[in-house]
């Protein structure tokens, strides 16, 4: 297959934790590579029954995307558009082929009109911010491979 296909996925949930941006570049001679992560709480339901929530970790990479989360607070109901990524590599200690998987966030949009039954804490008001923070189409050149 010569064409590169990208499958976008959407997931609605509550922003459970928002982490600070971190520079993951290990080689000081290479350009800085910034990553920012957030955890989404997703209620697992089947019909009327609710099960234990899932807490996947999503990431934003590249200088033009890491600030996307500044417009949101923990406890906000959002829809995340993301790409499932996986990269194969050889383990340095064993030489075995393995891979890591990441959920790369492409855009984030607040769900308007949702009232939160139990706020995460009292310092966040989920009604303050409305709208979306979509930084345009996914640019494969910006996300690149991690530098390790």
- Single pTM value for the model: 0.67
CATH class belonging to 8-138: mainly beta
- The per-residue pLDDT for 108 is 94
What is the phi/psi pair of residue 112, to 5°?
Answer: -85, 140
pLDDT, mean of residues 107-136: 51
Q: Where do the structural domains in the chain lie, given as residue ranges? A: 8-138
Which pair of tokens denotes residue 28? 């000081």
Instruction: State how far the Cα of 96 lies from the Cα of 20, in Å rounded to an integer.
Output: 32
Is 40 within 8 Å of 109 (Cβ atoms)? no
Higher-pLDDT residue of 48, 59: 59
Q: Give the residue ranges of DSSP H helices in 48-144.
A: 140-143
């Amino acid at each position: 297959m010569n064409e590169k296909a990208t499958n976008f996925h959407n997931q609605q949930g509550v922003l459970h934790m928002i982490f600070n941006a971190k520079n993951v570049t290990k080689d000081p001679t290479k350009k800085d590579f910034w990553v920012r992560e957030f955890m989404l709480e997703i209620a697992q339901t089947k019909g009327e029954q609710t099960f234990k929530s899932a807490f996947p970790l999503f990431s934003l990479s590249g200088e033009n995307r890491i600030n996307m989360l500044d417009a949101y607070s923990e406890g906000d109901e959002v829809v995340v558009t993301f790409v499932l990524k996986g990269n194969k590599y050889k383990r340095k200690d064993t030489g075995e082929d393995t891979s890591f998987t990441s959920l790369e966030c492409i855009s984030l949009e607040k769900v308007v009109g949702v009232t939160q039954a139990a706020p995460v804490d009292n310092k966040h008001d989920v009604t303050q911010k409305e709208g979306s923070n979509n930084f345009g189409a996914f640019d494969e050149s910006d996300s690149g491979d991690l530098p390790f």
